[in-house]
Amino acid sequence: MMDETRNTNSDDAIAALVRLAGRRTPVPDNAALRVRNAVHDEWLQTIGRRRRTRWIGSAAAVAAAAGIVAVIRMTTSSPQPTPVTPRVAVAGGQTNGAVIYANDVYEVANGNTASLAWGNATLRLDGGTRVRIASPSELTIERGAVYVDSNEAGVLVRTPMGNVRDIGTQFEVRLTTDRMRVRVREGRVDLQRGATTHTAGPGVELDADARGGVTPHSIARTGAEWEWVLRAAPPIHLDGRTLSEVVASVTRDEGLKPVWLGETAQNAATMRLHGDVPLTPEEALDTALVASGLTARTDGDRLIIKRRK
């Protein structure tokens, strides 16, 4: 009873104090909105930068531990190999100039990634992947995942669970013990299983099981599921390239559409960049934007680029 009385008195006193003080100075709505937008932009940039820093740190650790050349272990099984492509780019900042030969087997250790220039396409290999390159347009996945970014139709990816043929596109094929999934980011692919062809367009995944079933799903064309593709990207040299070229390259890997806001940003897009240090795609984008006095943030599947305040 005593406590209740004390609490009631104390509540009355709180009420009296708050009334005495009166309402705190309100903040103008328009000021709050302006500041909120600016701080929100800064926050988005910060968390984006932190995510990128982790990726870069991870890649550097892998390179230091395993050595860049050891990222891909190549086994030549053909006694008289036939060159199928003139160059090989290895993720992590180096091009070793090696030639891919028919029936070469490429294997990437878990936790690593790799990128190859392959015919008219770019090929990314995720960690734990083993592939056999048959020709400039045909390979077989034995395990793991590949991502193909091709300029022309005709690439064929063979798997024990069906063959995937692209029609000028960006897509991933991932093989596990009892499933295969084909995810299309852009363009169109055909999955051939026996006599049946299943077609998938942008934002569609085909989930193939061991019993012959194929189920299509809608998927996001950007986001965490695609992050390994960017990690596996070859380094970018800024020197002599325009900002718009760098933006186009990185946004293509991220599945984003660049949007240039304002005349200043559009003018900056044609500026030539300098710098001979190989950079990861995200480092390259950050560096190019800062050098051009611009900033960028993602909004859904768009990369909004505008003048830095």
* Interface with another protein (CB under 8 A): 9-11, 13-28, 31-32, 34-36, 38-40, 42-43, 46-47, 50-51
Q: Please say which residue, 50 or 211, places its beta carbon nearer to another protein.
A: 50
Number of residues that this document lists for the chain: 309
Min. distance of Cβ 118 from another protein in angstroms?
34
Contact 101, 81 (CB under 8 A): yes
CB of 188 to another protein, least distance (A): 32
Residue 39 CA to residue 230 CA, distance in Å, equals 27
Q: Least distance (Å) from another protein to the CB of residue 273?
A: 25
Distance CA 169, CA 148 (A): 8
CB of 224 to another protein, least distance (A): 11
**Of 46 and 151, CB closest to another protein:** 46
Give the Cα separation of 263 and 181 in Å (integer): 43
Cβ-based nearer residue to another protein, 12 or 178? 12
Report the nearest approach of another protein to the CB of residue 29 (Å): 11
Q: Give the count of beta carbons closer than 10 Å to the beta carbon of residue 72.
A: 22
Q: Classify 195 in phi/psi space as left (phi over 0), alpha (psi -120 to 50) or beta.
A: alpha
Cβ closest to another protein, residue 26 vs residue 79: 26
Strand partners, 172: 147, 183
**Long-range contacts: 109-114, Cβ < 8 Å, 24+?**
109/66, 109/70, 109/71, 109/73, 111/62, 112/62, 112/66, 112/71, 113/59, 113/71, 113/228, 113/231, 113/232, 114/71, 114/72, 114/90, 114/232
In the complex with another protein, the residue whose CB is nearer, 42 or 239, is: 42
Q: Which is nearer to another protein, 22 or 79 (CB)?
A: 22
Shortest Å distance, C-beta 45 to another protein: 8
Tokens representing 1? 């009873």
Cβ at position 50, least distance to another protein in Å: 6
CA distances for 67 relative to 61, 90, 91, 92, angstroms: 10, 11, 11, 9
User: How many Cα atoms within 13 Å fall on the side-chain side of residue 303?
Assistant: 27
Nearer to another protein, 45 or 135 (CB): 45
Cα distances (Å, whole numbers) of residue 48 to 41, 242, 296, 297, 298: 11, 23, 10, 9, 9
- Closest to another protein by CB, 9 or 199: 9
Residues 6+ apart with CB under 8 A from 192: 162, 163, 164, 165
Question: Smallest distance, Å, CB 299 to another protein?
Answer: 12
